[in-house]
Structure 1
Amino acid sequence: MSPPKQRAPNNRTLTLSAEESERYASALLTLSSPQPVASILDQTIHQSLFEVLPWLPDGFVDLLIVDPPYNRHKDFNGVAFKARSPAAYQQWLTTWLPHLPRLLKPTASIYMCCDWQSSNAIYEAFTQHFQVRNRITWEREKGRGAKRNWKNASEDIWFGTVSDDYTFNVEAVKLQRRVLAPYRDKAGQPKDWQESQQGKFRATHPSNLWTDISVPFWSMPENTDHPTQKPEKLIAKLILASSSPGDVVFDPFLGSGTSSVVAKKLGRHYVGVEQEELYCCLAQKRLALATENSTIQGYAEEAFWERNVSLGLQPKPHDSFDNKR
């Protein structure tokens, strides 16, 4: 085992002790036969997706969140995913994506993450199995600059459904934005906005362009060493929009557990599959921490807020805001 990384005193990246790794690993699930839904709910399955797919029950998923390896070189704790031609990447998608619809309820929604290099291949595969509803683009402000190209600072999420009967809770995902033109009605009352000690804000309808997301970094308590970890705020938008309390959220490429953690914080059931034990154990630790602290950075008072908003509210469930950077 390599020696632990030396971290700055204020680095809040989540790590595991040897005792924690052993304890969390012992609680992981592996499947070798068909399972009823009750036996896999709120569990982390330590297995490759290809191994576990035959044993998962039919029609148990309300919301499917898929964050597969993108078509680029990436090291996942010593296991390398290598970039390939677009045709070869699309062929790889067909080895597992056609098996996922069996797991979904007729009312299920699906979100599939990608970057610009894999977006076309994923779209082509996605349309073969789901009704495409939209493509979300979110600003991923982290990343290296480029001298001979535009900085790559966005990712896509394809949104689809199984049928025309699906959940979409628009009120739950409205974004609180600062009011630039605070119009008032004839009585002098705020028109479609609210005034507080912290400023003037309006609840705006969510669009498919998201610029209010902070990618996990070293000073955020949700941060881990997983190389492609998604922000809790990002996943919270998907879960709140496309599921209801008590629904089942399934993530077949769980990584360090963000989908399961956010599902737990928001009162949903979860099932996650991840083949790397380290990431499974990080997910388990994050799930344990979520029992004591259900805050989601950037989501408070049952609303999403722009980045760099500090409202000074008393702590409540989910009351946490994006750090200034």
Structure 2
Amino acid sequence: MTLQPNRIYQGNCIEKLRQLEAGSVDLVFADPPFNIGYSYDVYDDQRTTTDYLEFCEAWIREVHTALKPSGTFWLAIGDEYAAELKVLAQQLGFHTRSWVIWYYTFGVNCVRGFSRSHTHLFHFVKDANDFTFNGENPAVRVASARQLVYADSRASTKGRLPDNTWILRPQDAPAPGFSPSHDTWFFSRVAGTFKEREGFHGCQMPEQLLGRIIRVSSNPGDLVVDPFGGSGTTLAVAKKLGRRWNGFELSKEYVSRIEERISGCEIGQELDGPADPQKSAPKTSKGKKRTKFKNGRPVISLDAATESSVIEAFGEASEGHSTDYLLCDPKLSKRFLSACRERSLPGDARMWNSFLLRIRKSGKLPKSTNSGLRLSYADMDPYSDGSEAAMRLVGIDYGMTLDEMLCSPQAASEFDQLAGMFSPGYSSFEYRWAALALRKRAGTRRYRTIASDQQEYWSQQRKPNRLAIEKCLSAKYDCPGVYVVLFEDSVLYVGETRSIRDRVERLLSTEAWTNFAPTAVRVWHLDSEQQQFGLRSFLINQDTPLLNSEYLLQS
């Protein structure tokens, strides 16, 4: 039996792990019982040492089997068995990448012992040379001490990766968020008074901690598994970050609570709990100016000399094309960054691209003299859906707008890869241009008026019946229109196309789409582009699909 993704299953985790297809899982996060006598609903947390280690060996062995060759395994465990389980995992074939300490100084009181104030987090991989580690994702990087404490302009604007101790002190946890004065990572133990506390499970992980792990060790669309569902935090965060997920839980009551929690969160929803510090410490007694931050990154001022150099670099690299064209063309973009580097500009590639957009907005860039490749919506039809899905997933994973995505070489590269997975066979330029075209059309007054004018009409129309998705492969559906792809009881994607049959045929032959297990569609035969746009906008606002861009959502 192969388990369906995006479901929580009740039962023994060893048996359920065996039901996963071998080599199908990208990331496993496990927070097993610590065997310290904690009171669970149905599980006995007072096993003998031999019994407990045999149990752990059995489920860790199944984790190893379920993971892809490039898969990752994170394990949370207490002091009592941390060393034993590290050795055990290595004996079963895992390689240890990191031994992280999650430290919370308002700890758990222990009888006749020191308070429990930390948990061990082991980062294991199957292949020491081939595994996912998204260290360049700005959502997992933190500002350095140079930025936050010393206001040093020489600091890298990329920030840094965190160290292997993640700390929280009581004085650093005011409601509703943090105002820290240094660069340590902060994750609170989810105490009973916290907003994100679910209440039914005593050992709850914070969402921000799971967010860091899931972002750094998996990609959008990857399969994340939690063998010990508990409070459902791993699964909720995986869903919010656009991953597929499976969870196992022994307790029927916990399963019901987890299902309720999962149904209440949406892809793209912000993670609960305070994140990392995103602003510098208070001003020093000498009044030294601190670094300003926007979206967690330092803002470098654009002085006249830097502005002039950026304009020169653009003129040298653009071949007369527009700014958008340059950012969409990897070759021209690379040439522009090289020209900035030669001029020893402050900042990095993302900052220089951001400078370019700021200068364009001020109207100081030379007008384009080369229109370049012109692509119509019909030209982009074969890959526009893949471009939109990639834009949605990278936007969630990196927390970026489209402009910010195109300014970041790392994010743009991930966008290209994802778009190629959803709509294979096209160039980076085509994928990026299609994303810009979607945003531009959605933002124009003409199309916003079309969407607004048609809203009442479509709200009064009855939806077509659901069709098994394979039925759309017949010649009858070789026609233009709007389609809704469904998986389980949710909407995966709302699209418009010149041929519904061709679009569905490609969807069913593309792993990135079939990973979401689409089962049915609704179809509207529409020839008018304006009607297609109006209906698609209405449906996206009504259903908030998993893979549609937020640009078609009406504010």
TM range (shorter): 0.7 to 0.9
* Residue 107 (1) aligns with residue 70 (2): yes
For 1:207, the equivalent position in structure 2 comes to 163
Q: Give ranges in structure 2 of 5+ residues lacking alignment.
A: 168-185, 282-291, 296-394, 400-555
For 1:166, the equivalent position in structure 2 comes to 131
Question: Is the contact made by 2:239 and 2:267 (CA closer than 8 Å) also made in structure 1?
Answer: no
For 2:59, the equivalent position in structure 1 comes to 96
For 2:245, the equivalent position in structure 1 comes to 270
Look up the equivalent residue of 1:241 and give its one-letter code: V
Question: Is the contact made by 2:241 and 2:396 (CA closer than 8 Å) also made in structure 1?
Answer: no
For 1:305, the equivalent position in structure 2 comes to 277
SS in 2 for 1:286: helix
For 1:12, the equivalent position in structure 2 comes to none
Which whole-Å CA distance do the structure 2 matches of 1:208 and 1:77 have between them? Answer: 33
Which whole-Å CA distance do the structure 1 matches of 2:47 and 2:24 have between them? Answer: 33
Look up the equivalent residue of 1:208 and give its one-letter code: N
* Residue 223 (1) aligns with residue 187 (2): no
Which whole-Å CA distance do the structure 1 matches of 2:96 and 2:9 have between them? Answer: 29
* Larger relative contact order (CA 8 Å, sep ≥ 6): 1
Quick check: which has more Rg, 1 or 2? 2
Give the 3 Å change call, closer, same or farther, for CA 54–142 of structure 1 in structure 2.
same
Which whole-Å CA distance do the structure 2 matches of 1:147 and 1:278 have between them? Answer: 29
User: TM-score, normalization: structure 1?
Assistant: 0.72
Which whole-Å CA distance do the structure 2 matches of 1:127 and 1:157 have between them? Answer: 15
Look up the equivalent residue of 1:56 and give its one-letter code: L
Q: Deviations over 1:282-318 (max 9, x none)?
A: 2112212212871213566xxx3379x9x9999x979
For 1:14, the equivalent position in structure 2 comes to none
Which whole-Å CA distance do the structure 1 matches of 2:17 and 2:242 have between them? Answer: 25
For 1:24, the equivalent position in structure 2 comes to none
SS in 2 for 1:75: coil
Which whole-Å CA distance do the structure 1 matches of 2:42 and 2:64 have between them? Answer: 31
Give the 3 Å change call, closer, same or farther, for CA 55–297 of structure 1 in structure 2.
closer
- From 231, 238, 241, the counterpart of 1:256: 231
How far does residue 83 in structure 1 lie from its aligned partner after superposition?
4.6
Give the 3 Å change call, closer, same or farther, for CA 41–66 of structure 1 in structure 2.
same
Q: How does 1:18-97 map to 2 (within 5 A)?
A: 34-35=1-2, 40-85=4-49, 87-97=50-60
Which whole-Å CA distance do the structure 1 matches of 2:112 and 2:250 have between them? Answer: 37
How far does residue 94 in structure 1 lie from its aligned partner after superposition?
1.9
* Residue 126 (1) aligns with residue 95 (2): no
* Residue 175 (1) aligns with residue 139 (2): no
Question: Is the contact made by 1:89 and 1:121 (CA closer than 8 Å) also made in structure 2?
Answer: no
Give the 3 Å change call, closer, same or farther, for CA 288–128 of structure 1 in structure 2.
same
Give the 3 Å change call, closer, same or farther, for CA 174–293 of structure 1 in structure 2.
closer
Higher helix share: 2
Higher strand share: 1
- From 76, 79, 92, the counterpart of 1:116: 79
* Residue 234 (1) aligns with residue 199 (2): no
Which whole-Å CA distance do the structure 2 matches of 1:162 and 1:122 have between them? Answer: 16
How far does residue 175 in structure 1 lie from its aligned partner after superposition?
2.0
Q: Percent identity?
A: 25
Q: Which ranges of 4 or more aligned residues in structure 1 deviate by more than 6 Å?
A: 311-314, 316-319
Question: Is the contact made by 1:72 and 1:81 (CA closer than 8 Å) also made in structure 2?
Answer: yes
Question: Is the contact made by 1:141 and 1:215 (CA closer than 8 Å) also made in structure 2?
Answer: no
Look up the equivalent residue of 2:30 and give its one-letter code: V
Look up the equivalent residue of 1:43 and give its one-letter code: R
How far does residue 113 in structure 1 lie from its aligned partner after superposition?
0.9
Give the 3 Å change call, closer, same or farther, for CA 128–238 of structure 1 in structure 2.
same
Give the 3 Å change call, closer, same or farther, for CA 313–181 of structure 1 in structure 2.
closer
User: TM-score, normalization: structure 2?
Assistant: 0.44
Q: Report the count of equivalent residues.
A: 264
